[in-house]
Amino acid sequence: MADAYLKLVNSPPASVIAKKLGLPRPTELRRYRRGQPMVPGPVLVVASGAAEGLSGQLSGWGLEVRRRTAPGEKLGAIVLDLTTVSDPRELSEPMLAVGASLRDLAPGARVVSISRPADSASEPAAAAARQGVQGAVRSLARELRAGATANGLLLADGMDLADPGALGALQFLLSGRSAYVDGQFLLVGPGADQLPEDADRPLAGRTAVVTGAARGIGAAIAKVLHRDGARVVCVDLPAAGEELAKVSNAAGGTALQLDITSDDAGARILEHARSRYGGLDIMVHNAGITRDKLLANMDQARWDSVINVNLAAQLRINEALLASGAGQAPRVVCLASTSGIAGNRGQTNYAASKAGVIGMVGASAAAFAERGGAINAVAPGFIETEMTARIPWGTREVARRLLPSLQQGGLPVDVAEAVAFLAGDAAGGVNGRTLRVCGQSLVGA
Amino acid sequence: MASTPASPAAEGIRKAVVVGGNRTPFARANGAYAQASNQDMLTAALDGLVARFGLADERIGEVAAGAVLKHSRDFNLTREAVLGSALAPTTPAYDLQQACATGLETVMGLANKIKLGQIESAIAGGVDSASDAPIAVSEGLRAVLLELNRAKTLKQKAAAVAKLRPKDLAPVAPGTAEPRTGLSMGEHQALTTAAWEISRAAQDELALASHRNLAAAYERGFFDDLVTPYRGLTRDGNLRADTSLEKLGALQPVFGRSLGDKATMTAGNSTPLTDGASAVLIGSEDFARSRDLPMLASIVDAEAAAVDFVHGKEGLLMAPAYAVPRLLARHQLTFEDFDFIEIHEAFAGTVLCHLSAWESEEFCRNKLGLDAALGKIDPSKINVAGSSLAAGHPFAATGGRIVATLAKLLHEQAVSEGRRGRGLISVCAAGGMGVVAILEAC
């Protein structure tokens, strides 16, 4: 599971050799730790307009804001306000300003653009400018090194930068919580009420259910949700009970042994959450299986079991959540996969299930929003788990080293951070979306 | 004659309720848990219970557990298991040992503390490993070693060593032989089984029912919140869902072979040596309510009995036959008043001898001092989710298995039928002892 090359290349003699030979030089990513600053240095604000409001917000979070770089000073982040561009020609000045500061970025720095979605532009020129932002920022992300990332917020037309939903997403993208999110654009709409009171415990008082919690990504999700203040119900198959108990105890939660494909799974999950914790605020559909075979060799058992666990069970449990009557509908986060976006040889069944999750999330957004909830998906790329450790060495090295801009696989905690973000109030403006956590892998890009 | 309290629990004493239970799957000895110690298994059972009820880092009022086969180093077995578990290290614990009644007695002792208001919550448990059994040096070697330790001069030391004989070097493994009779438990039961003229067929049928009931309970998910897998085992290793009367009938007798053709006890209708652990969470009603924990059943009362098997006046495992009528009399109940009867299946013969005894007017008049037979128990009430013949019997862990199983059965019935049913537990134990108890649905 451990990425030995990543450790080696960050030791003094090997790093020199790797540089000389032009080998990939992945960096230990800047991941969230309680108490550390949001970004590793001052924030440069580049804006087509005055950007007073944005600077004020950033200062309000205790960040040092710069409008131009000072010689020798390492920047923690660049925030690029492009919300007003209406013509492609307006991109050159701010983009070149960013370019002039790239060499000043600290390791693990963030570049975040804020722009508008192209498909809602009224003029072709405006749409071209808006779409152009995505191409520029995604390319910029590929040029960054030393664990720095570039992502974009797509702010729905009419929404102000001071909207809590915009600020919550901006905080996520600036912080160590988004370490393995790179080259992504996140659409933020209205709907957020306010940001969490305690930024270090944003899920305080919430009850979360995590399926497939016994190991890997599910175990990491349970622990991160607990760290963020949630009470966690850890669900997995009865046969996985021994590991489930360990995860549950580490997350201070309760273990619920059940098969999510059983007809009454939704009812039993709801009953457990209600009777023990008075309700259910967060539902994380993480449980998933692979039964890989080339389609020519696929049998019905392999196909059906993957669809049942990865997709049909989620649909049924969501129906139970929506039908559960009065009160707040929960924030639901589903695990998709980049395989569901790009396709993957030998994974027709798996990719069908994961693409299906993305479709389900989009189509369910309105129903959950109506009840005060939301539903989103996280699509992990190559994540270092027991499952991916079984991939043959050559394929694994390509997937973790060559395909992602960050030149390394992600960790389960990277996926868990994205799930925790989407499960909380900071993502109040995000609904029906799929967020990739893939280190900007070429797969499905 | 010892007097029995005339009335049920005194006025003003509060209730103690079963919140839930957890156990490892039980493994046949020298199987899946061959490398696990009692402490390992008890810790696993505790951790599974902690996970089920979200008790990580919580201080529990008291934990009591025990093992029948116990290493001398495990003088603080339960406390050590607590320290290794996810419970708060400020949780006190004590060990208890009453042969096969250990598990049930821990429940009763802790329930009494809760009823008296001394503690709010408790975990009762038990564990046994027949695989990781303690092996001791012989009495001869032990005497020599102790004398050697006391010896001061070289001459004294030489004299001590000179007393050593080759046979003293052989290690002593624990057995199930009764110290006062030299007979194993199985041989004792074989005598009782023969005395009550229990047929081979009846014993095999009881064993078959045990396997079928346990398998059916697993199939319907009954144990999903009672068992946590351990070391690769997800169900009891002894369970044979596909066994049949033909297969059971083909087994050769292993106990009472001196009876010749009348020998009826086989490996199929006797419990095998087993490894495993169980734990039960109990508490006051306030404890359960304040944490939104379930309340499955109330622990009503218990009675212990012992018989004089040494002088042949009664069968070794027949003490529950005496404890049950005393407990029923105290609560003015009959078998008709119970919905579930859990009789620990040390051997199929043990259960059947008890049923025969309670149906026998002669036994009930002469031995129990009653006016008439205690009565017949409806077989459909007995061990409906399987018992020790199918699950196995890690001695001290059996009590916890039965209490948690019965509490859940009562709770299920209360939910589905809307009435508060009653259950009776009967556990026989070495030394001619037995402990029986009553649970009532909450």
User: Tens digit of pLDDT for each residue in B346-395?
Assistant: 999 999 999 999 999 999 999 999 999 999 999 999 999 999 999 999 99
Q: Are A83 and A115 contacting, i.e. CB atoms less than 8 angstroms apart?
A: yes
Whether chain B has a CB inside 8 Å of the CB on A232: the answer is no
Contact list, B54 vs chain A (CB under 8 Å)? 231, 248, 252-254, 276
For residue B429, the cross-strand partners are: B433
Alpha helices in B180-317 (DSSP H): 185-195, 200-219, 245-249, 285-290
Assign B270 to helix, strand or coil: strand
Find the residue in A nearest to B85 (Cα): A249
Where do we find the tokens 């068992």? B227
Main-chain phi, psi angles of B411, to 5 degrees:
-65, -45
Q: Pick the closest to residue A150 from A122, A189, A197, A115 (CA basis).
A: A115
Nearest to B224 among A258, A277, A278 (CB): A258
User: How far does B52 lie from chain A, in Å, by closest CA?
Assistant: 5
> Which of A14-18, A215-219, B267-271 shows the lowest mean pLDDT across its residues?
A14-18
pLDDT in tens, A109-154: 999 999 999 998 889 999 999 999 999 999 999 999 999 999 999 9
The domain locations on chain B are 185-221+300-441
Predicted confidence at residue A5, as pLDDT, reads 76
Note whether A310 and A262 are within 8 A (CB): no
* Pick from A159, A161, A89, A96: nearest CA to A129: A89
Interface test with chain B among A249, A263, A280, by most B beta carbons within 10 Å: A249
**Residue B302 confidence (pLDDT):** 97
Could you give the percent of chain B with pLDDT greater than 90? Answer: 81
Distance CA B359, CA B369 (A): 14
pLDDT at A167 over 80: yes
Residues 273-332 of A with CB under 8 A from B: 275-278
Query: Reduced to 3 states, what is the DSSP secondary structure of residue B150?
Result: helix
Amino acid identity at A300: Q
Q: What distance in Å separates the CA atoms of residue B123 and residue B31, rounded to the nearest whole number?
A: 27
Residue of A257, A269, A272 to mutate, testing the B interface (most B Cβ within 10 Å of its Cβ): A257
CA distance A217 to A418: 11
Whole-number pLDDT of residue B72: 86
Task: Work out whether the CA dihedral A351, A355, A361, A364 comes out positive or negative.
Answer: negative
CA distances from A149 to A76, A137, B308, B357 (A): 11, 10, 81, 80
- With beta carbons less than 8 A apart as the criterion, state whether A209 and A270 touch: no
A254 interaction partners in chain B (CB closer than 8 Å): 51-54
pLDDT at site B10: 55
The Cβ-side half-sphere exposure at A131, using a 13 Å CA radius, reads 10
**B198: Cα within 13 Å, side-chain hemisphere:** 28
State the count of interchain CB pairs (< 8 A) between A and B: 70
Instruction: Compute the nearest-CA separation of B50 from chain A (Å).
Output: 7
Interchain pair A241, B229: CB under 8 A = yes
Per-residue exposure over A379-392, b if at least 16 CB sit within 10 Å of its own CB, e if not: bbbbbbbeebeeee
Closest CA of chain B from A238, distance in Å:
6
Q: Which residues of A touch B229 (CB under 8 A)?
A: 238-242
| Catalytic residue (one of A5, A180, A277, A350) | A350
In the predicted structure, residue B206 carries a pLDDT above the cut 50: yes
- pLDDT of A232 > 80? The answer is yes
Tell me the per-residue pLDDT of B123-181, one tens digit each, with 9 for 90 and over. 999 999 988 877 777 888 888 888 888 888 889 889 888 888 888 888 777 666 888 88
User: What's chain B's average pLDDT?
Assistant: 93
The answer to whether the beta carbons of residues A255 and A245 sit under 8 Å apart is: yes
Mapped onto helix, strand or coil, the DSSP state of residue B382 is strand
> In this predicted model, what pLDDT tens digit does every residue of B299-349 receive, in sequence order?
999 999 999 999 889 999 999 999 999 999 999 999 999 999 999 999 999
pLDDT digits (tens, 9 = 90+) for A400-444: 877 888 888 899 999 999 999 999 999 999 999 999 999 998 775
Give the pLDDT confidence of B11-32 residue by residue, as tens digits.
668 999 999 999 999 999 999 9
From chain A, the residues in CB contact with B86 under 8 A are 249-250
Does the domain at residues B185-221+300-441 carry the CATH identifier 3.40.630.40?
Answer: no
Please tell me whether residue B275 adopts helix, strand or coil conformation: strand
Test mutation, B218, B234, B281, chain A, max A CBs within 10 A: B234
Question: Which listed residue (B188, B344, B393, B411) is catalytic?
Answer: B393
Q: Which of A231, A238, A276 sits opposite B224 (nearest CB)?
A: A238
Kindly state whether A263 is in contact with chain B, defined as any CB-CB distance less than 8 angstroms.
no
Chain A residues touching B231 at Cβ < 8 A: 242
Which residue of A245, A262, A277 is in closest CB contact with B47?
A245
Write out the two tokens for A337: 């996969």
For A378-392, what is the mean pLDDT?
87
**Between chains, do B227 and A246 touch, taking CB under 8 Å as contact?**
no
Q: How far off is chain A from B230, nearest CA to CA, in Å?
A: 6
Distance from CA of B14 to the nearest CA of A (A): 23
Segment A205-218 shows an average pLDDT of 95
What gap in Å lies between CA A292 and CA A399, rounded to an integer? Answer: 17
Cβ-defined contact of A234 to B51 (cutoff 8 Å): yes
| Chain B CA closest to residue A235 | B52
Contact A245 B48 (CB under 8 A): yes
Q: Which residue type, as a one-letter code, is found at position A167?
A: L
Higher-pLDDT residue of A357 and A160 is A357
ipTM of the complex: 0.85
Q: What is the pLDDT of residue B1?
A: 44
pLDDT top residue among A405 and B109: B109
Please list the residues that pair with A75 across neighbouring strands: A105
- Closest CB to B54: pick one of A254, A258, A262: A254
Q: Inter-chain contact A277–B86, Cβ cutoff 8 Å?
A: no
| Residue B442 annotated as catalytic | no
Write out the residues of chain B at the interface with chain A, using a CB-CB cutoff of 8 A.
Answer: 44, 47-48, 50-54, 56-57, 86, 221, 223-225, 227-231, 234, 292-294
Facing A255 at nearest CB: one of B44, B52, B293: B52
- Homologous superfamily of the A207-437 domain (CATH): NAD(P)-binding Rossmann-like Domain (3.40.50.720)
Confidence band (pLDDT; 50, 70, 90) for B6? very low
Q: Which two tokens stand for residue B254?
A: 């292993």
Catalytic residue, candidates B100, B353, B364, B442: B100
Partner residue facing A255 (CB), from B51, B230, B292: B51
Contact assignment for A253 to B224 by CB distance below 8 Å: no
State both tokens at A67: 């409008």
pLDDT of residue A97: 92
Please tell me which of the candidates B57, B228, B293 has its beta carbon nearest to residue A242: B228
* Mean of pLDDT values over B240-263: 91
Report chain B residues whose CB lies below 8 A from the CB of A272: none
- The fold of A31-188 is Rossmann fold (3.40.50)
Percentage above 70 pLDDT, chain B: 96
Six-digit token pair at B82?
A: 């607590």
- Which residues does chain B have within 8 Å of residue A277's beta carbon, measured at their own beta carbons? 292
The answer to whether A31-188 and A207-437 have equal CATH topology is yes
Percent of chain A with pLDDT over 90: 70
Which of the following is catalytic: B353, B364, B428, B442? B428
Residue-wise pLDDT for B37-95, tens only, equals 999 999 999 999 999 999 999 999 999 999 999 888 899 999 999 999 999 999 999 99
B52 vs A246, A254, A262: nearest CB: A254
Query: How are beta strands B274-283 and B121-128 bridged, if at all?
Result: antiparallel
Determine whether the interchain pair B230/A242 forms a contact, defined as Cβ–Cβ distance below 8 Å: yes
The residue of chain A with its CA nearest to that of B225 is: A257
Q: What counts of helices (H) and strands (E) characterise chain B?
A: 14, 12
Contact A234 B47 (CB under 8 A): no
Q: What is the 3-state secondary structure (H, E, C) of chain A?
A: CCCHHHHHHCCHHHHHHHHHHCCCCCCCCCCCCCCCCCCCCCEEEEECCCCHHHHHHHHHCCCCEECCCCCCCCEEEEEEECCCCCCHHHHHHHHHHHHHHHHHEEEEEEEEEEECCHHHCCCHHHHHHHHHHHHHHHHHHHHCCCCCEEEEEEECCCCCCCCHHHHHHHHHHHCHHHCCCCCCEEEECCCCCCCCCCCCCCCCCCEEEEECCCCHHHHHHHHHHHHCCCEEEEEECHHHHHHHHHHHHHCCCEEEECCCCCCCHHHHHHHHHHHHHCCCCEEEECCCCCCCCCHHHCCHHHHHHHHHHHHHHHHHHHHHHHCCCCCCCCEEEEECCCHHHHCCCCCHHHHHHHHHHHHHHHHHHHHHHHCCCEEEEEEECCECCHHHHCCCHHHHHHHHHHCECCCCCECHHHHHHHHHHHHCHHHCCCCCCEEEECCCECCCC
Q: How far apart are CA A350 and CA A387, in angstroms?
A: 14
pLDDT tier at A7 (50, 70, 90 boundaries)?
Answer: confident
